[in-house]
Structure 1
Amino acid sequence: MDGPAMSLLIVVVSVATAVLLVLKARFPAFLALLIVALGAGLAFGGKPDDVIDSVRKGLGDALGFVAVVVGLGAMFGALLEAGGGVEAIANRLLARFGEKRALWALTAIGVVVGVPLFFDVALIILAPLLCALTLRSKRPIVWFALPTLAGLAVMHALLPPHPGPVAAAELLKADYGQIALWGFVCGLPAVLVAGPFYAWIAYRKQGQEGYVLPPSMDTGMPRQATIGFGVALTAMLAPLALIMIGALARGWPEGRLRDLVVFLGHPFTALILACVGVWLLLGLRYKTPRSTLLKITGRALEPAGAISLVVGAGAAFKQVLIDSGAGAHITAVITAAQVTPLMFAFLVAAIVRIAQGSATVAMVTAAGLAAPMVAAAGLPPAQVALVLIGIGAGATVVSHVNDTGFWLVSQYLGLTESQTFKAWTIGSTLAGLTTLAVAVIASAFL
């Protein structure tokens, strides 16, 4: 068996082994990815010391950036949620749009809230609002939920500071300004198709017969917001705006102003400023005790740590592939097969997503495999960003029983498994395919 064929075989077996370890053996994803990285390195004929060095390099390079962004993003979202900022935005948008146009208001809520908050956190926060709307109307809950879920899912898969896009951007060396630009260009049509359009087609004639309020929503009212709408919206969008402006400033003439704007637009700086701003707002203006703020941020870092380690392990696997020369072999095979980096990245992400459920692991795996191809092709920044968008699209499709998001949707919205498949699984697939379609069209014109 020649070099390229053997390289492909090792990669396929490695990915399959990772999936089996996670799904069947119930290994933690972090441990499974490290085992696969070490095994793949040895299978490629690497010396044990060299394989260990590759794993260390991959982990160190990724965690030095990803862990900081994921941790800051988690803290920022937790502080904003604790101050009622998310609820303030939701209430204002609903009041402005009115109940008759609730689909569009909830679409906007999903997009805006989905920028800083993780999908599961945002769903838990907004579920009481969705349930309340259902009880005050004659519509099924999925009529209100689909637009919100589409916005949350697409933003989670395409935009920083979410861990999947951040990790993929680091592996692909993508420009964050381009990611933000094309994330919105490709993501907004996907949100519309998978959200209000799908809800209108599938559920406009259905009522809420037999709907039972989920147990988690039986008691208590959504808490009152303390942070006002304007402040909350500004806080949510400010980090993303800084990152975009910082990316644009890299093309400015050399000088102090350019250096300052680039510094402020770095994801580290932008998120630090956002966290400090919300911390001071809650502490000074709303008199939130420091002990409470520490508890909020401390709890937010718990899942962030686990996510960062999984991302680091995926990066270690990527580094092993690069150091072994597998990336060059895969690039040669894909080039001969005339599969574009964008389509290759989408297919890998979709396969891993369907097989093991985690969008983040799917994005890290796909980015790791696509990185050598992207580097060899010498793609311009916009095309690299579109490859990342394709990865996010693949990591969005076919959410099913091996995805924690599937069960969160089912439990928090009071849906049966069958209802969740019809609403969420189909909706997530529509979102991913629409994102891919727009990215492919955009790529053809660049």
Structure 2
Amino acid sequence: MDQTIYLFIITTLSILLLLVLVMKLKVHAFISLLLASTFVGLASGMPFMDLIANLQKGMGDILGFITIVVGLGAILGKLLEVSGGAQTLAHFIIKGFGEKRTTWALMLTGFIVSIPVFLDVGFIILIPLIYALTKKSGLSMLHYAIPLLAGMAVTHAFIPPTPGPVAVAEIINANLGWMIIFGAVIGLPCSIIAGPIFGRYISKEIFVPVPSHIEFKADTETPRKSDFYMIAFVITLPLLLILLATTSGMFVGLGYLDGDHFLVGMAQFIGHPFMALTVATLIASYFLGFKKGFKAKQLLEFSDKALAPAGLIIVITGAGGMFKQILVESGAGEALAQVFIEYNVAPIVMAYVIAVVIRVIQGSATVAMVTAAGMIAPVIMGLEYSEPMKALIGIAIAAGSCILSHVNDSGFWLVKKYLDISEKQTLQTWTVMETIISLSGFLIVLLLSIFIS
């Protein structure tokens, strides 16, 4: 058998093994990815100790970056949560948009809040607002909930420094600045289509009242406008600093700036994700922590709690790094690239399809993203794509990881529980919304890829 075909079959079998371990045998995703990586290494003839060394290298290379970024992002999000920042943002955005455009305000609120805050946490924080708006208007709760969820789901999947896109960017070696740019450019239209537009339609088809067990309490405290400005500043600061580094690097490449200039070096330094998130976290610790009356001990406790869920994402991402490294060193990634070239399959399409298949079958968006990124990374390395194109491939993976959320996804049950709807209604609402995000996102990615090489 031709070596290229043999290695391609091994790669395919490793994905099947991963799915069997996760779905059928209920093995943790981290261990499943480790076993799938080991299978590829051994089946390709890699010496035992080389396999161990490559597993270690793959894990270490990605954790050196992802641990710091995800850890700092989780602490920043926790500070926003405990300070009441999400509610403050929602209050002023809704006030600014006006009562008639509340759904658009909720979409934007979800879009912004989900940058530093995990989707499930952000939704739980803001669901009382959805209950209150529904009670006041008499409309279906879906009229307000779907736009909020759409904004959150898009940002959670598309825009760093949320863990998923950060992991994908690191595995495929894509620039975070370009990921942020394309995540926003592609994500906003997706949020509009899946949020206010779909929400308006589905709320007329399915009436969902406020759950009967919900008790309403009068709001006695109006958030201060100064808090709103501070929270908006804290959330957008790391994004702006990262974009500053990307922009300065682009101008250096075009010859407009001297790469050795002190200011360029400073922009690159302060705009590195490590420093950008460190600066934002320190500012948040002071203004959303100490200024809100929290003590140093409490802030330490918040950090500990924030890092607990982040740890799970970090180890799964590390396993994705191992998978990528084994594919590269075994030659399986090169074989995959050869198959793509021979059958004229665009990596951007294959990246989306792989993420879709894994997402639908096993449910976890994170596992779908890191696995698809691990498989496509060697292909990208072989074809030498530009930074913008690699970022587009990263967004394609993110879009694929959103599709058809159903009963094997924790997000499905979270929405069902807090909206108090049936499984069928959750499929008709949340699942369709996620699929709209996925398909519209991928179509925009394909459109943009025509103009970017």
Give the shorter-chain TM-score range.
over 0.9
Q: What CA deviation, in whole Å up to 9, does each residue of 1:405-446 have, x standing for no partner?
A: 111111122221111100010110000110111110011012
Report the counterpart of residue 124 of structure 1 in structure 2. 124
Count of aligned residue pairs for this structure pair: 443
Structure 2: which 5+ runs fail to align?
A: none
- Output the amino acid matched with 1:141: M
Which residue is 2:232 aligned to? 233
Which residue of 1 is the match for residue 180 of structure 2? 180
> Where in structure 2 are the equivalents of 1:45-444 lying within 5 Å?
45-204=45-204, 206-208=206-208, 211=209, 213=211, 217-218=214-215, 228-250=227-249, 251=252, 252-253=257-258, 254-444=260-450
Distance 1:170 1:46, change over 3 A: same
Matched AA of 2:14: S
Contact in 1 for aligned 2:334/2:378 (Cα 8 Å): yes
Residues 116-166 of structure 1: per-residue CA shift (max 9 Å, x gap) = 211111111111111211121221111111111111111111111111111
CA drift of 1:98 comes to 2.5
CA distance in structure 2 between the partners assigned to 1:398 and 1:283 by the alignment: 39
8 Å CA contact 2:83–2:289 kept in 1: the answer is no
1:328 CA drift (Å): 0.8
State whether residues 79 and 289 of structure 2, in contact with CA within 8 Å, keep that contact through their aligned partners in structure 1.
Answer: no
Instruction: With the length of structure 1 as denominator, give the TM-score of the two structures.
Output: 0.96
Contact 1:107–1:148, Cα closer than 8 Å, also in 2: yes
| In structure 1, C-alpha distance between the alignment counterparts of 2:436 and 2:95, rounded to whole Å | 29
Counterpart contact for 1:397–1:432, Cα < 8 Å = yes
For residues 14-67 of structure 1, the C-alpha deviation after alignment (integer angstroms, 9 at most, x for no partner) is 111111211221111111111111122111111111111111011000111011
Percent identity, aligned pairs only, is 39
C-alpha displacement of 1:200 = 2.0
CA distance in structure 2 between the partners assigned to 1:134 and 1:144 by the alignment = 7
Residue identity opposite 2:239 in structure 1: L
**What SS class does the counterpart of residue 396 from structure 1 fall into?**
coil
User: Which whole-Å CA distance do the structure 1 matches of 2:435 and 2:4 have between them?
Assistant: 32
Structure 1 stretches (4+) deviating beyond 3 angstroms? Answer: 204-208, 217-227
Q: CA RMSD in A?
A: 1.7
2:227 corresponds to which letter in structure 1?
G
- 1:339-389 deviation digits (Å, cap 9, x = unpaired): 111101101111111111111111111111111111111111111111011
Query: Any idea what SS the aligned residue of 1:199 has?
Result: helix
Unaligned runs of 5+ in 1: none
Partner SS, residue 403 of structure 2: coil
Q: Is the 8 A contact 1:128 1:222 kept in 2?
A: no
Deviations 1:185-217 (A, max 9, x none): 111111111111111222236544xx35175x5
Q: What does residue 31 of structure 2 align with?
A: 31
Alpha-carbon distance change, 282 to 183 in structure 1, aligned in 2, over 3 angstroms:
closer
Q: Distance in 2 between matches of 1:276 and 1:428?
A: 34
> Residue type matched to 1:229 in 2?
F
- Supply the distance in 1 between the matched residues of 2:310 and 2:218 (Cα, whole angstroms): 29
1:177 CA drift (Å):
1.4
Letter of the structure 1 residue corresponding to residue 64 of structure 2: G
Aligned-residue offset at 1:231: 0.7
8 A contact 1:214–1:413 mirrored in 2: no
Distance (Å, rounded) in 2 between the aligned partners of 1:17 and 1:191: 35
Tell me how far apart the structure 2 counterparts of residues 379 and 418 of structure 1 sit (CA, whole Å): 43
Answer yes or no: is the 8 Å Cα contact 1:172–1:371 preserved in 2.
Answer: yes
Q: Residues 347 and 394 of structure 1 are in contact (CA less than 8 Å); yes or no, is this contact kept in structure 2? A: yes
8 Å CA contact 1:322–1:372 kept in 2: the answer is yes
**Cα separation, 1, equivalents of 2:289 and 2:91:** 23
CA deviation map 1:240-290 (0-9, x unaligned): 111111111222312111111111101010111111111111344222122
Cα 1:162–1:222, aligned 2, differ >3 Å: closer, same or farther? farther
Cα contact 2:58–2:324 (8 A) shared by 1: yes
Q: State the secondary structure of the residue aligned to 1:397.
A: coil
Asked whether the equivalents of residues 172 and 374 of structure 1 are also in contact (C-alpha less than 8 Å), the reply is yes
When residues 424 and 442 of structure 1 are mapped into structure 2, their CA distance, relative to the original with a 3 A threshold, is same
Partners of 1:220 and 1:55 in 2: how far apart? 54
Report the residue type matching 1:241 in the other structure: L
2: distance between equivalents of 1:259 and 1:222? 48
Counterparts of 1:270 and 1:84, CA distance in 2: 23
User: Given that residues 353 and 395 in structure 1 are in contact (C-alpha distance below 8 angstroms), is that contact kept between their aligned partners in structure 2?
Assistant: yes
Structure-2-length-normalised TM-score: 0.94
State the Cα distance separating 1:223 from its structure 2 match: 9.2
